[in-house]
Amino acid sequence: MGKGVGAVIRCKDLTVSFGGRAVLDRFSLNIPAAGVTALSGPSGCGKTTLLRVLAGLEKPRSGAVEGIVPRQTALLFQDDRLLPWRTVEQHLTDVLPKSRWGEVPARLALAELEGEGRWLLTPFATDALVFVVNRDNPVDGLTADQVRRIYTGEITNWSQVGGEDLEIVPFQRNQGAGSQTMFEKVVMEGAEPMEPPATWTSNSMEGLLNAVREYDNSAAALGYTVYYYANDMEMARGLKVLAIDGVTPSAQAIRAGEYPFLNPYFVSIDKDAPQDSPTRILYDWVLGPDGQKLAALEGYVPVTDVEG
């Protein structure tokens, strides 16, 4: 993690708060600068917040860190993953020293990815992340910025967004869930969501929707789901889907790109693939009427308007 003073990284009386809720409250810890230190605790206890403070990504309201230089500190993903906005070539140059960038074409060739421009990458369907509240909540819509500020803890009361004087309870999915990854990618746009208490996290989509519907017999909760579930009459019972930036999520708005929180899916093929090759035939089928009907049947919004 870094070289500490006297081989120790010292955290002294760290306090970090989000929306009035103290995630770290006068927290102190001595961490050996060598070896492996494991941080263990329930969701929402501040593990990620502490790592962000150590890396210089989060400034504590009070307290100090000694024995670590943020510019010499690196954070690694817990799970193997790539950055979806970077190309394969860029991922290689991200991890190789500049002196070895000349090796990239050969490495791409090994994976038959040389000349990424040779590939056709065509969207065939789109999914969307939609936000839901209890149907008794008077708020009908939020802006994308308000959603992000709610989930970073900057907005904490429904009265701040035109609703009643009621604390906002923003539910999230568990880490590793597809909808959570989608939420962080298309909604947060690099902003760090606050660590929710364990009671504000659900391990299933149905569980999250039930929690929003029934939380404390009030309309305090906010949650999200993929468009398909929001359109399922049983799953959406007792819930209201919010407009975002004035746009109500619908197949038409998603297909037109008017709704903001979209996640497109692509089909890829070598541009030089022969017309009668199996890959070309499959590519054409996915983009044709039958493939588009299948996408609609599976709950996605196809790029062409077809009967489901």
Average model confidence (pLDDT) across the chain: 84
Query: Is the Cβ–Cβ distance between 51 and 2 less than 8 Å?
Result: no
Query: Is the Cβ–Cβ distance between 259 and 128 less than 8 Å?
Result: yes
Count of helices and strands (H, E) across the chain = 10, 13
Q: What is the pLDDT of residue 302?
A: 94
What sign results for the dihedral spanned by CA atoms 164, 244, 240, 203? Answer: negative
Higher pLDDT, 28 or 58: 28
306 vs 308: CA distance, rounded Å: 6
| Whether pLDDT at 308 is above 50 | no
185, exposed or middle or buried, with CB in 10 Å at 0-12, 13-18, 19+?
middle
| Whether pLDDT at 251 is above 70 | yes
Of 35, 33, 31, which Cα lies nearest the Cα of 50? 31
| Whether pLDDT at 164 is above 80 | yes
| Whether pLDDT at 56 is above 50 | yes
Which of 103-107, 185-189, 278-282 shows the lowest mean pLDDT across its residues?
103-107
Average pLDDT over residues 28-56: 80
197 vs 219: CA distance, rounded Å: 18
What tokens appear for 270 in the block? 């070598």
239 vs 294: CA distance, rounded Å: 27
3-state SS of the chain: helix, strand, coil percent to 5?
35, 25, 40
- pLDDT, one tens digit per residue, over 201-227 is 888 888 899 899 989 888 999 999 999
As a whole number of angstroms, the longest Cα–Cα distance in the chain is 69
Query: Is the Cβ–Cβ distance between 260 and 144 less than 8 Å?
Result: yes
